[in-house]
Structure 1
Amino acid sequence: MLMKKLICFFNLCLLLVSCGHKSQVSLVSLVNPLMGTESTFEFSHGNTYPAVAVPWGMNFWSPQTGENGSGWMYTYKDSLIRGFRQTHQPSPWINDYGTFSIMPVWGELTMDNQKRGMRFSHENEKAAPDCYQVKFDNGVSTALSATSRGAVFEITYPSEEGQYIVVDAYQHGGSVVWNKEENCIYGITHYNNGGVPENFANYFIIEFDKPVVESGTDENSCAYVKFQLEAGEKMTVRTASSFISHDQARLNFNREVAGRSLAEVSAEAKKIWNDQLGRIQVEGGTHEQQKTFYSCLYRTLLFPREFYEFDSDNKPVYYSPYDGQLHGGYMYTDNGFWDTFRAVHPLFTLAYPEVSGRIMQSLVNAYDESGFMPEWASPGHRGCMIGNNSISLLTDAWMKGIRTFDKDKALEAMLHQTQARGEIASVGRDGYEEYDRLGYVPYPEVPEATAKTLEYAYADWCLARFAEATGNQEIAKAYYKKAQNYRNLFYPEKGFMWARDANGKWRDNFDATEWGGPFTEGCSWHWTWSVFHDPEGLSTLLGGHEQMAERLDSMFTAPNTFNYGTYGFVIHEIAEMVALNMGQYAHGNQPVQHAIYLYNYVGQPWKAQYHTRNVLNKLYNSGPQGYCGDEDNGQTSAWYVFTALGFYPVCPGASEYVLGSPLFNKATLSLPGGKQFVIHAENASEDNCYIRSATLNGKNFSHNFLKHEELMQGGELKLIMDCVPDKERGVKPEDAPYSYNK
């Protein structure tokens, strides 16, 4: 009898231990790297690829289903894999650079990328941030994991005949050389799509743990090696690379992958991911919502990438994509700030401030090396998008206490950014002379002029804010004045932002649904809201709070019609807006993503609560069609992360987060110094999206915003959620978030 009791007690202990272990869910297991991969040129569900990487890693690895040179590297509906590719691609529209691929081939040797693809099915594919595995239809198996600058593969073949690996350096003058003594390949790839100096190269080493019995090359920067292993025998392939030299690549190899197994590298990558994802812990909601949340957080933590390495003294060094020289310090790249200033970088300042600090140093370094800060870098300046949002990044970081950069040099860089234009229009300020003379950028004299005016006015506010905070009052005064230039393109007779020429004449044939022309990837319905720093001033132009709320309402109820304007055809952003069937609201692109939160500025916060929850539930999922447009370097993902927590940084630089409706019952932010900020959303459910009452650290809280310092001090925001809106809470003027003209 005693023995039976002991056995029962022992089994109960095992059960408790098992249950306790089960509750510690690996956050990596919730991530689906295939989210958003079912995309095409005509319609984007994310335009993503399954990146095997560590957060902000110098290199990513991905299966490649598309042909060499295609921006659509991996498409979910494809049935062939043509290689496993070291990639730096931030977007299919920007494409790749410094890339090479490793591909097992079985049977007849085929080196050409169009012909060497092997069939696979998603049933035999497993994608995770730390490891990708696939068993091809012909029985060949490949698994890989990555460090920041290296990777480890395991490959098996189903029989002893015809075992090859093809290494592809992607033409552009690349080379691949077999070194028999070291049983490895030394390669150089020059592949790029712009944004590089003449001496740009990526130097790589590939080492095999099994003997090579034959090797060769072709005229297309490809090489092959042949093996003779037993059927099912596991072969390990290790690789690392450098943008500096083969010697540095060997240093990276020895430091990160030498002698290490796939399991070891994968376990380390998994730990890194769990640590970084674990800075934001959510509880409650559905399993699918948690998968979507952590898949979005994974995407947010990929870019910008580290473009630096560590020398023999373990000091950070980098090859500059701006001047082609070697420098000490930090460099980051592969980011379009037009997208990511909105939510990605504010999330870093909150949850990953040490990374934000290095990125800010990188911006000033780029100014030193090229004369301009980057706005779209991959790896150097690229001719894409508009605005001076590097200024937003520096200002937001400084206002939140991130002081890792030289403030005087930063101000010098900011001022220059607004007073000059580089060789390509996206560098510096296109139309700066007209903007300073007229108070707006004229159209048609300057393309996308109205969008640029709105962007510049916000950047001017950021610059003024930074100048004021660093003791430069005269500069601040001048730029606060320029920050009001958005008013000059508000068309009072129509109630929308529009375009004027250099003589002050309004553009003919007003059409709020016309895309392109004076706007960037949108129409006046979207760009009218781009006054991040002064929603109160915008509401005055619109006639007051009630009128602005009505205009916001009408955005969701207007017909989802469009005029494709100067684009000349239905660009994918238009097609995606129409497919949403949410009126003129186009969440699949960035200009309008903050607009829902503007209800908080005009005394109707319950509408922000309704619409944010509606977008979370309807427009995102963790599958291959998980996004409603381009994911864009983490921005569309960061919108989800912030909004699911219940707040969003409408105006980076203001150090405030505007409230929405938390998706989860509980979320815990782990902050520097061991502090935590907890958001409790009691009764949160699919129906209960409205805030009935709120307390902050036990005190009644009626504001529609949280201050950054309130979060960083740690504490608790407790919300009681309901299925009916409370139209009395958050309606006082003092409850509204920051506006310059408040």
Structure 2
Amino acid sequence: MDINKVDTRHGTFNREELSNGNTLPYTGVPFGMNYFAVQNQNDSNWFFDPTLPLFQGIRLTHQPSPWMGDYCKVLFSPITKEPKVSDLEINQSSYDIDDAIFKPHFMSMFLYRYRLRFSLVPSKRGAKFNLTNYSDDELGLIIQTENGAEVICDEFDNKLFIKLTHTVNKDKSILNFFLALDFGDINFDVFQFNSENKLSDSLSKGLTTTCKSLYIKFDTKMKDIEFSLGTSFISQELAIRNLETEVLNKNSDQLINDNESEWNELLNKIQVYDNNNQKVDDFNYYLYRIFLFPQTFYEIDKNESPIHFDIYNQIVKKGKYFTNIGFWDAYRTTFPLYSIILPDLYRDVLEGIQNFYESTTHLPKWLSPDERGLMPGTHVSAVIADAAVKGLIDEEQIKFFMNALIKEAEIESEDIHFGRRGVSDTKKYGYVSINEEGSVNQTLDNSYSDFSISQLAKLIGDKETQMLYREKSLNYRNLFDKDSGFFRGKDENGNFIEPFSPDDWSREYVEASPWVSSLAVFHNFADLITLFEGKDNFKNHLLDLANSEPTYTLSKDGKEYNEISELAINGFGQIGISNQPGFHLPYLYVYVGKPEYTQLIVRQICEQLFSSSIDGYPGDEDNGSLSGWYIFSTIGFYPVTPGTNQYVIGIPQFDKICLNLPNGNVFTIRTTNHKVQNQFIKNMKLNGEDYSRLYLTHDTILNGGDFHVDLSLLPNEKDYSENQLPYSLNTDNNGID
């Protein structure tokens, strides 16, 4: 796989009303502390349009999603000729879209107005800028911050220091962000823009000033300029250290080559081969996206030890830390994928989660950079349980996390940003009542978290805790309405809320209708089948899910949100693959012994709704989660139930797939009769032996070997025994090796 074949504009054609990925064209290194992206419109969150041939600047960004927004952002705008004002629209330039290079490891473009070419090469905590002037005017650089910054110009080292502050969390804590720019032996002067955005006084070297915008005027004789950047969330000293250790010790070509090698090392964790070269190239795009988040939030001190800034206690602490990640999104696909190909990164993130808990006495839900308190449940529980089941943490860590999860399950935080919601309701009624928004999702998600606790207890032999939370994990039953076949909201008196429609995106459900939310019993589909009074009834419900029109009503607030629009236009009935609650839906047909339905739907979704274009996603990409869905679905298996050792088999969509595993083994998936018309699996062999189970275990994959899949024009329908079906708590078939 080759990072040079990736264009970062993939999925960037978006607006608030409709998402084609809601991605940004990030240039950086994998899991970098900063990313860099072109800004060409003033919208603070949707600041890049790939069809708009305008350039306002390069934004140093920490935005994980437009729904979360940015922080500690800085805009660098190279120009020629002295500007009169700092206004973005006045100073913007057109650029050549076709000539521009938007790569993960390198970016470059030509600005028509200024007759200027710029390029940028990133590092994990810095970057190197190159400017080439083809005009007769002097080179310059405008630097803009959102809320102002302290600026110091060092006359001895020819450096410029900038310090931004960002206010986070309800306690109004301060996050500092330090930038150190090194101009080598280049002569330059620095000017401020005043409160009217007009160019004003020059900045005396050695003095400190506060302003929002700066203009750096370079020596008029300079036609080619290179300068370097280092950043830190901890101190100016560390910004200089990061500058020196990551950027100044390499020239641009060396940095590009190092970045290319780092990206390709990760891309080659999964290698795909196919007669259709475009499909192979497209796969690169999705792999690139899963290696962006979470972002690194720790740095390396002079003793070569990791340290990070504790936002909540306003001190520097030892240890690793990560941010810009929503666990509600990422537990479903990206972390299970990391468990296979990047277990060391997974362990590092868990260390960061433990450090977060020790700072806040809570486990994280949605970090950016602090806890945002978004989405129902505490799905970091599934991330923890999945790691534990797959042997990524030891017994002491399991005990630590289990106790932390139990605390979240039993004590509701007074701060709504932290922990589970509806704890008191659950203790009283066995469900979360409609007094809590998203009550149905809260109930189902809390049940799944209780299952995660039970899995942890099982691993360490704590039978009492295992059985207690196993029972609690069945609380979803208390909201099931057997007459309608949906999970429904109840008041505190145990009454279902009327009127009810399965099409209604009401306040009891989160980013979904009952169609999607009523199938979120990830750990126990065998029991859900029992609630439906048999596989035939459940199968018919799943058929209705696919074959119903994508109708919807909007009682919540009357607004058609992007997730609703995407469901309607994608053309897969009520299968809401555009958003996380619907990711598992195509795989549920396997649980009723109809894998051929899953094979057909998954392949059609991959072929019809995904591409490497600027509108290449059917919905929000969200921190790699939708890219992770595509990766799993095209290589042929999917983690329906994180916290177990199983992956449900779908259908591989390449001639050959190689998982190059960290332990040195290779798990190879080969297909025969792989033609566009052959949409079904005829038979499977594992290491030469017939394979009839509808799932693969984690250990099977890590042991390496050859998984051979023969495809056919028509499905090979057959009956399956219970032990051939994927994991359910009721059957407990190998949920933990």
Deviation for aligned residue 1:53: 1.1
Q: Does 1:81 align with 2:55?
A: yes
2:577 is matched with which residue?
587
Q: Distance in 1 between matches of 2:168 and 2:567?
A: 29
In the TM superposition, what whole-angstrom CA distance separates every residue of 1:404-454 from its partner, at most 9, and x where no partner exists?
Answer: 6722221221111222334553520111110122110001x1111001101
1:102 is matched with which residue?
76
Q: For 2:173, what is the secondary structure of its paired residue?
A: coil
Deviation for aligned residue 1:229: 4.6
Evaluate the alpha carbon distance shift between residue 285 and residue 452 of structure 1 in structure 2; reply closer, same or farther with a 3 A threshold: farther
Q: Distance in 2 between matches of 1:325 and 1:552?
A: 52
Q: Distance in 2 between matches of 1:319 and 1:441?
A: 36
* Contact 1:334–1:377 under 8 Å retained in 2: yes
In the TM superposition, what whole-angstrom CA distance separates every residue of 1:654-707 from its partner, at most 9, and x where no partner exists?
Answer: 110001111101101111221111011112222112110111111110011000
Deviation for aligned residue 1:196: 8.5
In the TM superposition, what whole-angstrom CA distance separates every residue of 1:323-366 from its partner, at most 9, and x where no partner exists?
Answer: 22211111111111111100100000111000001111111111
2:123 is matched with which residue?
147
Q: Distance in 2 between matches of 1:37 and 1:194?
A: 29
Tell me which amino acid in the other structure corresponds to 2:560.
V
After superposing the two structures, state which structure 1 stretch, 97-106 or 112-121, moved more. 112-121
Q: Does 1:617 align with 2:607?
A: yes
1:406 is matched with which residue?
397
Q: Does 1:217 align with 2:206?
A: no
Q: Tell me which of 605, 609, 616 is aligned to 1:626.
A: 616
2:173 is matched with which residue?
198
2:204 is matched with which residue?
none
2:27 is matched with which residue?
52
Matches within 5 A, 1:297-308: 297-308=287-298
Deviation for aligned residue 1:201: 0.7
Q: Does 1:435 align with 2:426?
A: yes
1:569 is matched with which residue?
559
2:336 is matched with which residue?
346
2:205 is matched with which residue?
none
Deviation for aligned residue 1:195: 7.8
2:135 is matched with which residue?
159
Evaluate the alpha carbon distance shift between residue 662 and residue 587 of structure 1 in structure 2; reply closer, same or farther with a 3 A threshold: same
* Contact 1:197–1:321 under 8 Å retained in 2: no
Q: Distance in 1 between matches of 2:427 and 2:705?
A: 45
Deviation for aligned residue 1:481: 0.4
Q: Distance in 2 between matches of 1:193 and 1:559?
A: 44
Matches within 5 A, 1:171-570: 171=147, 173-191=148-166, 198-209=173-184, 211-218=186-193, 219=195, 220-230=211-221, 233-403=223-393, 406-422=397-413, 424-443=415-434, 445-570=435-560
Q: Distance in 2 between matches of 1:66 and 1:374?
A: 33
Tell me which amino acid in the other structure corresponds to 2:420.
R
* Contact 1:195–1:380 under 8 Å retained in 2: no
Deviation for aligned residue 1:169: 2.5
In the TM superposition, what whole-angstrom CA distance separates every residue of 1:113-146 from its partner, at most 9, and x where no partner exists?
Answer: 3433221231121111110111112221111111
Deviation for aligned residue 1:158: 2.0
Q: Distance in 2 between matches of 1:321 and 1:546?
A: 53
Please identify which structure carries the higher strand content: 2
Deviation for aligned residue 1:403: 1.3
Q: Does 1:93 align with 2:67?
A: yes
Q: Tell me which of 158, 168, 192 is aligned to 2:144.
A: 168
Q: Tell me which of 702, 713, 722 is aligned to 1:733.
A: 722
In the TM superposition, what whole-angstrom CA distance separates every residue of 1:246-267 from its partner, at most 9, and x where no partner exists?
Answer: 0011111110001422221111
Evaluate the alpha carbon distance shift between residue 196 and residue 51 of structure 1 in structure 2; reply closer, same or farther with a 3 A threshold: farther
In the TM superposition, what whole-angstrom CA distance separates every residue of 1:162-190 from its partner, at most 9, and x where no partner exists?
Answer: 4210112221x422332232222100112
In the TM superposition, what whole-angstrom CA distance separates every residue of 1:447-495 from its partner, at most 9, and x where no partner exists?
Answer: 1100110100111001111111122221111110010011111111111
* Contact 1:283–1:666 under 8 Å retained in 2: yes
* Contact 2:138–2:220 under 8 Å retained in 1: no
Q: Distance in 2 between matches of 1:61 and 1:276?
A: 20
* Contact 1:169–1:188 under 8 Å retained in 2: no
Deviation for aligned residue 1:88: 1.1
In the TM superposition, what whole-angstrom CA distance separates every residue of 1:232-279 from its partner, at most 9, and x where no partner exists?
Answer: x32112101000000011111110001422221111110000001101
Q: Does 1:135 align with 2:110?
A: yes
Q: Distance in 2 between matches of 1:35 and 1:225?
A: 33
Q: Distance in 1 between matches of 2:317 and 2:657?
A: 41
Q: Distance in 2 between matches of 1:684 and 1:275?
A: 28
1:9 is matched with which residue?
none
Deviation for aligned residue 1:295: 0.6
Deviation for aligned residue 1:82: 1.6
Q: For 1:374, what is the secondary structure of its paired residue?
A: coil
Tell me which amino acid in the other structure corresponds to 2:432.
V
1:21 is matched with which residue?
none
Deviation for aligned residue 1:194: 5.2
- The alignment covers a number of residue pairs equal to 712
Tell me which amino acid in the other structure corresponds to 1:144.
L
In structure 1, list runs of 5 or more residues that go unmatched. Answer: 1-25
Q: Distance in 2 between matches of 1:355 and 1:165?
A: 37
* Contact 1:414–1:463 under 8 Å retained in 2: yes
Deviation for aligned residue 1:66: 2.9
In the TM superposition, what whole-angstrom CA distance separates every residue of 1:208-245 from its partner, at most 9, and x where no partner exists?
Answer: 245334311235521111023558x3211210100000
Question: Normalization by structure 1: what TM-score?
Answer: 0.93
After superposing the two structures, state which structure 1 stretch, 208-217 or 323-332, moved more. 208-217
The two structures, once aligned, show a CA RMSD in angstroms of: 1.6
Q: Distance in 1 between matches of 2:178 and 2:672?
A: 54
In structure 2, list runs of 5 or more residues that go unmatched. Answer: 196-210, 732-737
* Contact 2:168–2:370 under 8 Å retained in 1: no
1:656 is matched with which residue?
646
* Contact 1:95–1:193 under 8 Å retained in 2: no
Q: Does 1:667 align with 2:641?
A: no
Q: For 1:124, what is the secondary structure of its paired residue?
A: coil
Tell me which amino acid in the other structure corresponds to 2:619.
G
In the TM superposition, what whole-angstrom CA distance separates every residue of 1:524-578 from its partner, at most 9, and x where no partner exists?
Answer: 0111110100011111112211221221111121111111221321111111111
Evaluate the alpha carbon distance shift between residue 567 and residue 666 of structure 1 in structure 2; reply closer, same or farther with a 3 A threshold: farther
Evaluate the alpha carbon distance shift between residue 666 and residue 417 of structure 1 in structure 2; reply closer, same or farther with a 3 A threshold: same
Q: Once the two structures are aligned, what percentage of the paired residues are identical? A: 29
In the TM superposition, what whole-angstrom CA distance separates every residue of 1:290-328 from its partner, at most 9, and x where no partner exists?
Answer: 222111111011101111110001111111233222111
Q: For 1:574, what is the secondary structure of its paired residue?
A: helix
2:596 is matched with which residue?
606
Q: Distance in 2 between matches of 1:517 and 1:185?
A: 51
Q: Distance in 1 between matches of 2:662 and 2:682?
A: 31
Evaluate the alpha carbon distance shift between residue 422 and residue 266 of structure 1 in structure 2; reply closer, same or farther with a 3 A threshold: farther
Deviation for aligned residue 1:30: 2.8
After superposing the two structures, state which structure 1 stretch, 78-87 or 327-336, moved more. 78-87
Q: Distance in 2 between matches of 1:410 and 1:213?
A: 53
Tell me which amino acid in the other structure corresponds to 1:732.
S
Tell me which amino acid in the other structure corresponds to 2:66.
P
* Contact 2:166–2:174 under 8 Å retained in 1: no
Tell me which amino acid in the other structure corresponds to 2:121.
S
Deviation for aligned residue 1:76: 1.5
After superposing the two structures, state which structure 1 stretch, 602-611 or 425-434, moved more. 425-434
Q: For 1:437, what is the secondary structure of its paired residue?
A: helix
* Contact 1:27–1:274 under 8 Å retained in 2: yes
Q: Distance in 2 between matches of 1:62 and 1:422?
A: 38
